[in-house]
Amino acid sequence: MNIQLSSKNALVGAATQGIGAGIAIELAKCGANVTVMARNESKLQNIVSSLPVVNADQKHQYLVADFSDFENYKEIITTFFATHSIDILVNNTNGPEPGLAQDKKVEDYQKAFDLLFKTVCETTLLALPHMISQKNGRIINVSSLSVKEPIGNLALSNSIRSAVIAWAKTLSNEVAQHQVTINNILTGYFDTERIQNLINHEAQQTGKTEEEIKKARENKIPMKRLGKPEEYGHLVAFLASEYSAYLTGTSIPLDGGLNNTY
């Protein structure tokens, strides 16, 4: 299978590191023109300069946007779509702060809703008109295994990501007739800055060492290791390609077998 995404335009959120960067790199390897989006301009410049260029017409760029400031994000993303069209949209954001449900206030859930739901909804609805008009488009949502079984100490993420999945399934049925697909990836444990931050937070709460916590997570995974960002990119590249044209409305676990142990 040779995935070719030449002439396709992709927009990838939270793409300066971790899973987002892994996705951007793999899409670029397949020939897509990649726009990476995040809040740190210097990191965006670095990732753009490192993205592969495999054909003469391929161009990459970046968009500075802060997912945690929805009103400003809405203005930036609306301006972007006024002059750009996207064939492949990867909805990926930084995660909300960890914590217990009993410790979170209503305001915390509202912030998480703005971050995880409203940004995804706004970006998707702006991308859809072009996809519908050309009768082709790929929308891929980076989500979490927590939508199947809530993960301890992640009350905000558990709650809002489930809403995104339900919304995405509803929308996928509406746009399927236009040959636009919407799929979700349920993320397991990957070797990223995000997982390291969660491990550090757990270590502070429990008194365990970070190495003990990391090892315990790895032992839960049948493959006994964390995933690699490039492995995530491989699945996204497939979902972005014509090979997945008849696959929509799904939520695919990418977790080294962890989902099967629930």
Rounded to whole angstroms, what are the CA distances from 132 to 87, 148, 164, 202?
A: 10, 30, 21, 44
Digit-coded pLDDT (tens) for 146-204: 999 898 889 999 999 999 999 999 999 999 999 999 999 999 999 988 888 888 888 89
Radius of gyration of the chain (CA): 18
Digit-coded pLDDT (tens) for 108-157: 999 999 999 999 999 999 999 999 999 999 999 999 999 998 988 899 99
Kindly state the tokens that stand for 33.
Answer: 């023109």
> Nearest 5°: CA angle at 23, between 21 and 24?
65
CATH classification number, 9-190+228-255, choose in 3.40.190.10, 3.40.630.150, 3.40.50.720, 2.130.10.10 = 3.40.50.720
pTM over 0.75: yes
Digit-coded pLDDT (tens) for 35-49: 999 999 999 999 999
